[in-house]
Amino acid sequence: MAVLTSLRARLMTAVILIILIMTALYIKPLLLIFTLIYIVFAANEYARFWHRKEVYPHTITAYLPSLLIPILVYFDIELAGPLFVMFCFIITISVLRFPGARTRPNFLSEIAAAIFGVIFLATMPSTLILLRKIGFYAALLPLLLCWSYDTFAYLAGTMLGRSPLASKISPKKTWEGTIIALFLLFPLTLWLGSSWIADWRLVDCLIVTLSIGILGTIGDLLESAMKREVNLKDSSRIFPGHGGFLDRIDSLILSIPFFYFYLVLRGRI
């Protein structure tokens, strides 16, 4: 009974999240609003990782740039100058509060946490906004592929998995689940890509399938390693049965930016 209740909660949460995300993709202003909400909650979860290691980067050094970058992207403002200003801002704040906020000097850790935090929190949502500027389906495609790959890998790994992919980080993730998921994802990538992206070729399908699978797995393992480092099961408990914001987007962290840059490099826009 407890298992069924948990599965029901996971399914309901997943359905609600998918509906909200697709609505945000369809209504452009909502996408920016949802992006900013995501960053606020994800930044809190990210900071929690560091706090458990007694590293306390100044909150504003991660929050402010992470919130500003997708806003600049949404309004088509050139990023080079603002990014340099943000970098100087992070350095200045970090230097002014040297040697750190707590009991021991953590200057190097705090400044590294702030800079990595901006990259970690802002890159994926910003490139999703850029994909939406190309079109609704260009933004929806990598999301559907990532969600499908995660589902295939989970089901295949549960039923047939024997060989752990990274036992010290995520014992339940298996080579069998990963490989089977890639094979199952390929026809879906071919079908959806051919339907939604102009001049979609077999080589595009192959590259995107492999990259979505590999980068999605790496992103998942990245977030799992961060949680294991600080002895956390979930980044938070905001979504019943699904953990926190970072738990829900781990496979997208690298996959969404890749898909955008792939379209750019292949001249699809």
- Write the CB contacts of 257 (distance below 8 Å, at least 6 apart in sequence): 123, 124, 127
Distance CA 225, CA 151 (A): 21
Per-residue model confidence (pLDDT) at position 11: 73
Distance CA 226, CA 164 (A): 18
Per-residue model confidence (pLDDT) at position 196: 92
Residue 135's nearest CA partner among 260, 261, 37 is 260
Distance CA 204, CA 197 (A): 10
Alpha-carbon distances, residue 146 vs 17, 28, 78, 109 (angstroms): 14, 21, 29, 32
Per-residue model confidence (pLDDT) at position 214: 94
Distance CA 119, CA 124 (A): 9
Per-residue model confidence (pLDDT) at position 3: 43
Per-residue model confidence (pLDDT) at position 6: 54
Residue 204's nearest CA partner among 262, 146, 117 is 262
Tokens of 228: 């294991």
Tokens of 73: 């992207």
Amino acid identity at 85: V
pLDDT by residue for the chain (269 residues), tens only, comes to 544 555 566 677 778 888 889 999 999 999 999 999 999 999 999 999 998 888 888 888 888 999 999 999 999 999 999 999 999 999 998 888 776 556 667 888 889 999 999 999 999 999 999 999 999 999 999 999 999 998 899 888 888 878 888 888 888 888 999 999 999 999 999 999 999 998 899 999 999 999 999 999 999 999 989 998 988 887 877 776 667 888 888 899 999 999 999 999 887 54
In the chain, what is the straight-line distance between the N-terminal and C-terminal CA atoms, in Å?
50
Rg for the chain, CA atoms, rounded: 19
Distance CA 206, CA 189 (A): 8
Distance CA 173, CA 158 (A): 9
